[in-house]
Amino acid sequence: MAGSVNVDWLTCDIYDCNGICLDAGDKCLAHAEDEERDAALEQFAQTGKIDARGVTISNALVVKILDNVPCNPDGHALPLEVDFSWATFEGDALFSGATFQDAGFTKTTFQGDAAFLGVKFQGDAEFGQATFQGDALFLRATFEGNASFYEATFQGAAIFPDVRVHGAARFGAVRFQGDAGFAGATFQGAAVFAGSTFERAQQFGPLLAYESLNLDIVRFAQPVRIEVSTIWFCCRWARFPGGVQFRLRWASVVLDGTDIPAPSLLTGISFGASEELVSGEYQIARDWKQEYAGHVSEQPRLLSVQRANVAGLGLANVDLTDCRFSGAHNLDKLRLEADVAFRSSLAWVSWEQRQVIAEECAWRAGQTRSGRWANPWWHRPDPWMGSRTEPKVLAPGAIASLYRALRKSREDAKDEPGAADFYYGEMEMRRHEHRRADYGDGGSRGLADRGVLTAYWLVSGYGLRAWRALAWFAGITVAFAFAFHLVGFVRAPQPVTYWTSLLYSFRSTISLTDNDVTLTAWGQLLQALLRLTGPVLLGLALLAIRGRIKR
């Protein structure tokens, strides 16, 4: 309104009108006399340029403007240069098949429905802070430059089916009060929806983003399914109170600080939603593979859930080899479902391999110079994904806490074999924890504790490596048999050979005695030690076997 809004153009003489004056006269396009208006529209028909900033445009005026769109000899509309910033469209606004060289709709108000059907924007399209009070339909619209809807408000449905944006798509801080549809949309530049609110949307996508998709600080009030093919998917500090289903392809995913309290799922999908999207996806996938050699696959890669609330999140068909769990809340409730891949530990023998998390890999890579342990792939490609510095390497005590939470989630899912790997990792980190500084009191952990853990690891792999316990059992039996043969018998078993001593040593480990044998004092000590260590080692071996086959 005049006097209440500051504008940088000469406004109409009519009270309460902010419309820009025509070149000839002191009134805007809406309030000018018929002759002045017809002259302005005739000029528009010749040049394709019109400045209607702040003008209130009625249905009749919209018809007159569209009737004067310049055409080439073939009857096709020529590119337009229009500026409807601060304008108000009182009725429905239909732009069908139009081509805009430059289009300004900043702070424009559409009181009725707005339809841009098959429209082409050759330059940048500015819809920043625009208000769509009715439905907004951008069917098969093409934005050859940037498309900016920053802080726009869609009070009705906002539908962008099969839209193609060649430049950057900026939907930051947009408020979608009705349905929001982007089915079949293709974003060749970065697609940014940071800070937007979706009050009724239950479906986002399927869409293809060549560079990245940013959903930082978004809020979906309703349960939503997000289906996206992209190389970088950033969704930090977002809120999904009703739950979310992420259906992704190719993406490296960051979920730092995101709140997912309701049952939700992040899963990789093996096929696209439409042939057109799949065709575009495989064309750009060749470039992705060249640029990020060895780090790109159709299976999505989760890179971080730091400080996120993952109480309701389930993961399926997701690569977790480089995922950072540090600081995640309710990690013990994270559901690990089918085809979840972790990094495998290095081991001299294949059966010693186990699943390890990225935090342990980073710590071990910093402890050895042999190059056997590689740092996780924590590359950051874009400024909006955060600092390019490497994350801080955690101390063993903190890593043990992460393993403990993940182990509980596996145990709650009745996956005992899977939980065993996380238990092994937890115990390994406890064994390597030399100071209680990891827990905040700054004291020493103690040689006795480390000694017990080291012995437990060496003898049986924390009760998870049956072959170690059996190897120790066999070694002790053989060594004690040699000792029996030398100094253990007053009256030896017959015939007096090493093999009979070995048989006696074995029988002693399972507490079987021979009344015909008389032992020396040393022999009695050896027998007592065998009766103690033998059952313990056999018990540890059975425990390890049980842990691997338990359902």
CA–CA dist 22, 29 (Å, integer): 6
Question: Which of 225, 368, 236 minimizes the C-alpha distance to 303?
Answer: 236
The residue type of 311 is A
pLDDT digits (tens, 9 = 90+) for 259-293: 999 999 999 987 766 777 777 788 888 888 777 76
d(CA 81, CA 86): 16
Query: Tell me, what's the pLDDT at 523?
Result: 86
How far apart CA 187 and CA 215 sit, in angstroms, is: 14
CA distances from 325 to 5, 357, 398, 472, 495 (A): 50, 8, 11, 36, 63
521-549 and 466-483 helices, crossing angle to 10°: 170
The whole-number pLDDT of residue 382 equals: 47
pTM, two decimals, is 0.85
Task: Return d(Cα 39, Cα 64) in angstroms, integer.
Answer: 12
Helix-strand-coil percent breakdown of the chain, rounded to 5? 30, 25, 45
What are the residues facing 116 on neighbouring strands? 95
The type of residue at 183 is: A
SS3 459: helix
pLDDT given for residue 187 in this prediction: 95
CA separation for the pair 195, 9 (Å, rounded): 32
Q: What is the pLDDT of residue 168?
A: 95
Distance separating alpha carbons of residues 436 and 175, to the nearest angstrom: 49
**pLDDT score for 122:** 93
386-397 pLDDT tens trace: 544 567 889 999
Q: Letter for the amino acid at 116? A: F
pLDDT of residue 369: 63
**What pLDDT does residue 350 have?**
57
What pLDDT, on a 0 to 100 scale, did the predictor assign at position 357? 93
Residues of the chain with pLDDT under 70: 1-5, 75, 272-273, 293-295, 347-351, 369-371, 378-390, 435-446, 550-551
Are the beta carbons of 110 and 84 closer than 8 angstroms?
no
Task: With H, G, I as helix, E, B as strand and everything else as coil, classify residue 318.
Answer: strand
Burial class (CB in 10 A: 0-12, 13-18, 19+), 440: exposed
What interhelical angle do 396-412 and 358-367 show, nearest 10? Answer: 150
Q: Output the CA–CA distances (angstroms, integers) from residue 65 to 51, 60, 95, in the order listed.
A: 11, 9, 11
Phi and psi torsions of 176, nearest 5° = -100, 100
Burial class (CB in 10 A: 0-12, 13-18, 19+), 192: buried
Cα–Cα distance for residue pair 316/333, rounded to 1 Å: 15
Determine the 3-state secondary structure of 288 from DSSP. helix
Full DSSP string of 1-18: -TTTS--SSPBPSSTT--
